[in-house]
């Protein structure tokens, strides 16, 4: 059963980005996922652990 009886076949459901997306060079948008955020945080944590401790 078609949930959208008036919808054309070529139309795509809009994606709910919750305001968080990366705009690609071609203008398309890629939603930022939880996995992307976790990966970025892990990379930051690893980079901090590699840096020598600085005296303030």
pLDDT at 40: 95
Our measurement of the distance from residue 7's CA atom to the centroid of its chain's CA atoms, rounded to an integer in Å, reads: 27
Reduced to 3 states (helix: H, G, I; strand: E, B; else coil), residue 30 is strand
Q: pLDDT tens digit string along 12-50? A: 556 666 678 999 999 999 999 999 999 999 999 999 988
pLDDT at 46: 93
Q: Which of 5, 7, 9, 36 is nearest to 20 (CA)?
A: 36
To the question of pTM greater than 0.75 for the whole model, the response is no
pLDDT at 1: 47
């Amino acid at each position: 059963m078609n949930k959208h009886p008036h919808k054309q076949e070529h139309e795509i459901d809009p994606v709910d980005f919750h305001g968080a997306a990366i705009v690609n060079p071609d203008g398309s948008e890629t939603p930022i996922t939880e996995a992307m955020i976790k990966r970025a945080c892990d990379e930051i944590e690893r980079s901090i652990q590699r840096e020598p401790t600085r005296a303030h």
